[in-house]
């Protein structure tokens, strides 16, 4: 993306601690945090997106991230979540894999992908969450993508679980090991 900002993309289904982790990382690293466009859509429309709206949401997520990266003076950006999650949701809810190739290509902009585990208790959140079964279905889909296309591209994914402080520390340590971005 050529903006010089290093990026962390979060993966995980509903109620897996992505937003809490993003906020914690924003303070700990420090980093700029990009919020979820899907959540904003549901908040503003009062409903989940339909199948034909998914591509637009994925692109909005990436555009929001790119805009934040241009404005970020901290040098680190956390995407809550990575745009790939829109493609995962399209698979989970619409059996639609049409976004997957583009979403996987977008993952090359991340210096680190972090996959949040399902070990946190599931909690309802109005119209934003569908239940632990939906979370498990999404988690399984992420696993198939992590172990398939992302592995085929040589992209590693840090899996985190446990309480927030443990997750934050695991990402912080992994981030320190990566060192500064090398020019390409």
What angle is formed at CA 37 by the lines to CA 24 and CA 127, rounded to 5 degrees? 90
Q: What is the pLDDT of residues 98-115, one digit of tens each?
A: 999 999 999 988 999 999
Residues 6 or more apart whose CB falls under 8 angstroms from that of 104 comprise 84, 87, 145, 149, 150, 153
Q: What is the pLDDT of residues 122-152, one digit of tens each?
A: 886 765 667 778 899 999 999 999 999 999 9
Place of tokens 């993003």: 22
Mean pLDDT of the chain: 90
Q: What is the pLDDT of residues 4-30, one digit of tens each?
A: 899 999 999 988 999 999 999 999 999
% the chain with pLDDT above 90: 74
CA distances, 39 to each of 42, 48, 80, 134 (Å)? 5, 9, 10, 16
């Amino acid at each position: 993306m050529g903006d010089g900002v290093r990026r962390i993309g979060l993966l995980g289904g509903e109620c897996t601690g992505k937003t809490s982790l993003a906020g914690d990382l924003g303070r700990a690293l420090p980093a700029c945090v990009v919020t979820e466009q899907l959540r904003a859509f549901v908040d503003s429309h009062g409903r989940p997106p339909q199948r034909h709206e998914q591509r637009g949401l994925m692109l909005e997520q990436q555009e929001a991230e790119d805009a934040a990266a241009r404005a970020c003076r901290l040098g680190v950006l956390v995407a809550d979540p990575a745009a790939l999650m829109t493609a995962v949701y399209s698979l989970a809810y619409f059996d639609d894999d049409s976004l997957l190739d583009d979403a996987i290509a977008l993952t090359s902009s991340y210096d680190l992908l972090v996959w949040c585990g399902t070990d946190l208790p599931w909690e309802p959140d109005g119209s934003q969450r569908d239940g632990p079964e939906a979370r498990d279905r999404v988690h399984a889909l992420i696993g198939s993508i992590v172990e398939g296309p992302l592995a085929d591209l040589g992209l590693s994914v840090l899996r985190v679980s446990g309480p927030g402080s443990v997750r934050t520390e695991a990402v912080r340590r992994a981030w320190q090991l990566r060192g500064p971005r090398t020019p390409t």
